[in-house]
Structure 1
């Protein structure tokens, strides 16, 4: 969808650069802006006045004097506009409304059941977005747009979700999601892979540290990954949805859950699906476990049952999750040895669901990193938790102000 209504809010290129500097650094002085921009005082003053008149930035007091007049301080006006961020995943979809400082005004989530077709979900999203706008007295002119972080594969340029696997409901193929949501709301809508939006959010939260190379892996029903280098998301020739899950761990290993995948793929050993399948198989074989107190039919074991068993320190649950975490750590080590990121952020239901999985996986990865201990990588579960994909989708839209 056309985002010119956003990109043209700041028309001058140097003003865009100045606004981005303020946005990233919080409160800055006129001296900071002069040092960063290299502009003349008159040019800088004119652009600052234009941004202030538009309401994009605000004067926020005075800095400490260095001998002359105290310098004026400026900050981004967080309430200049608002943005929707939407996550569409296989287990849950989530809508958030945030201001330009990513302060959350509201959120709403929906379980992705067998009834949650594209038509049903988009109708609920449009209805809830309108209610949020009404509750906060916002008309469409105050909304920059909506970003969507979705399960792929997808075509981000045309705004279409292509052929995602394992949605509980039918109909999730060739879905023109941006039009289905944007047209009834009358706002521009932008689509990208959910892993890409999550890493945008986490890199934004880490902007003070200025990590140059970041790797994000989302572990849930499948595995999804994204890379940021020098502040930019790295895109491949095609959408890379799920490709990390096809990393081969054992060439003669477990068959993939459908014919399109590799034998011995990482996702077959370290995903919600893999853990549930291992637990179901063990119970069918008669293994003693707390899980039999939770379900009567092994085929109905789901990850939330395994989490409950973990809380009871059930030996079988611990064994299964430890093995999955070990395989995940091996795959992560392969990525470290190829990409050498400065920081790795792990997210998704599998990471959020069990702290031991994160600990074991990262320990294995470090042990198998080729240049360890010379190469030191930072591991994190992220600062935004389960909201990272939706918040990052909003960050993606905000970037158009300065593009």
Structure 2
């Protein structure tokens, strides 16, 4: 019996290795796959024949001969399956639908009716999913699942949101089960920071990295997720990755978590606006001095002024970047990941801020205990988290493929 279990496990592992290699390297020959996976060509041929028969893989032409017959190349069948990904924020629900190659074939966004409570929000989300699938005319039976990511804390095993500070009255909301029941599709729910990191590992710059840490820097806070060999490091009871609640200034302001001086109290929209507004009231020179109401200054105005060289706004952003880089440096020192990826609205929407954060982070590379400071901006900007939700769906599907 033990031998059978081991044999079945080995076949499942080989299947995942082969399928993932084709996905990442298509067009791929059977010989290349065998060399990569340490398998025989016969074993690879047996598995790829079943993948072809099930329509998951297609033949896409012939490769260059290395002596003898030209090899047949394999690729993923883009239209054999589809996935839905949703990034749920307090402001909007961003939805993408992709084919099996994770190419976006449809996207839309709707305002989140947060003030109407979780039941209404989830009903709107389910309606959005069903109408979007209908709008593009794909076969509903080919939709393998729906991934949803949102603010933490959450319990991904149970698919439950656990009272994030910016989602009032969202304690223990069963997001996964609710969406499954209302749409009929398998669903997954996880933190948005996990989604952002997964998108980069599956489809972006962290492809092939043994370890990567994703920072999600939004207007209201900072999140994080550590990936090791493509697996999310959860920690005890899923508590890992909460970089926004690491303390970087013990004399700082009180955080929503109850502590003082957490990173996300120093890297957020309201603090930046307050600092610039105070500077204006004190008579500091700025192009924003012409604004009628200093208390009504917006993040967009600050970022635009900074990009145009405004000293007051640049100095405020510079200080905020310094605090963020302390958090980045701490992660680099603790985990030494191959790559640190910066994503979220503060990065993807504001090029000046992203630029100075990356520059400041790289200056830390010379420090004694910093072994790696490979800091990059994310690949997918406003679709980063939604594509991460897609990655979660595809990962689950890959693990569940059975060809016998």
TM-score computed with the length of structure 1 as normaliser: 0.87
Do 1:86 and 1:95's aligned partners in 2 also have CA atoms closer than 8 Å? yes
State the SS of the aligned residue for 2:249: coil
Q: Which has the higher helix share?
A: 2
Within 2, Cα distance between the matches of 1:239 and 1:395? 19
Residues 1:395 and 2:391 are matched in the alignment? yes
Correspondence 1:108-187 to 2 at 5 A: 108-112=108-112, 115=115, 117-167=117-167, 170-187=168-185
State the SS of the aligned residue for 2:23: helix
Correspondence 1:244-323 to 2 at 5 A: 244-251=243-250, 253-258=251-256, 260-291=257-288, 293-294=290-291, 296=293, 298=295, 300-323=296-319
Do 2:332 and 2:371's aligned partners in 1 also have CA atoms closer than 8 Å? no
Look up the match of 1:218. 216
Change in 2 beyond 3 A, CA 1:193/1:281: same
Residues 1:234 and 2:230 are matched in the alignment? no
State the SS of the aligned residue for 2:173: coil
Within 1, Cα distance between the matches of 2:206 and 2:263? 34
Look up the match of 2:63. 63
- Residues 164-205 of structure 1 show CA distances to partners (whole Å, capped at 9, x for unaligned) of 0123xx432221111222212100000111111111111123
State the SS of the aligned residue for 2:107: strand
Do 1:96 and 1:108's aligned partners in 2 also have CA atoms closer than 8 Å? yes
Look up the match of 1:359. 355
Do 2:255 and 2:262's aligned partners in 1 also have CA atoms closer than 8 Å? no
**How far off its partner does 1:99 sit?**
0.9
Q: Point out the more displaced range, 387-396 or 231-240.
A: 231-240
Within 2, Cα distance between the matches of 1:392 and 1:224? 14
State the SS of the aligned residue for 1:187: coil
Change in 2 beyond 3 A, CA 1:215/1:143: same
TM-score computed with the length of structure 2 as normaliser: 0.87
**How far off its partner does 1:140 sit?**
3.1
Look up the match of 1:88. 88
Look up the match of 1:7. none
Within 1, Cα distance between the matches of 2:289 and 2:111? 26
Within 1, Cα distance between the matches of 2:265 and 2:301? 19
Within 1, Cα distance between the matches of 2:303 and 2:241? 24
Unaligned runs of 5+ in 1: 1-10
- Point out which structure has higher relative CO (alpha carbons under 8 A, 6+ apart): 1
State the SS of the aligned residue for 2:69: coil
Within 2, Cα distance between the matches of 1:199 and 1:92? 20
How well do the aligned residues superpose, as a CA RMSD in angstroms? 2.6
Correspondence 1:93-108 to 2 at 5 A: 93-108=93-108
Change in 2 beyond 3 A, CA 1:200/1:208: closer
Within 2, Cα distance between the matches of 1:386 and 1:77? 27
Within 1, Cα distance between the matches of 2:143 and 2:99? 9
Within 1, Cα distance between the matches of 2:187 and 2:237? 21
Q: Point out the more displaced range, 230-239 or 154-163.
A: 230-239
Within 1, Cα distance between the matches of 2:367 and 2:300? 37
Within 2, Cα distance between the matches of 1:325 and 1:207? 22
- Residues 97-145 of structure 1 show CA distances to partners (whole Å, capped at 9, x for unaligned) of 0112111011112344653632333233222222221123224320010
State the SS of the aligned residue for 2:275: helix
Change in 2 beyond 3 A, CA 1:320/1:92: farther
Aligned length: 388
Unaligned runs of 5+ in 2: 1-10, 400-404
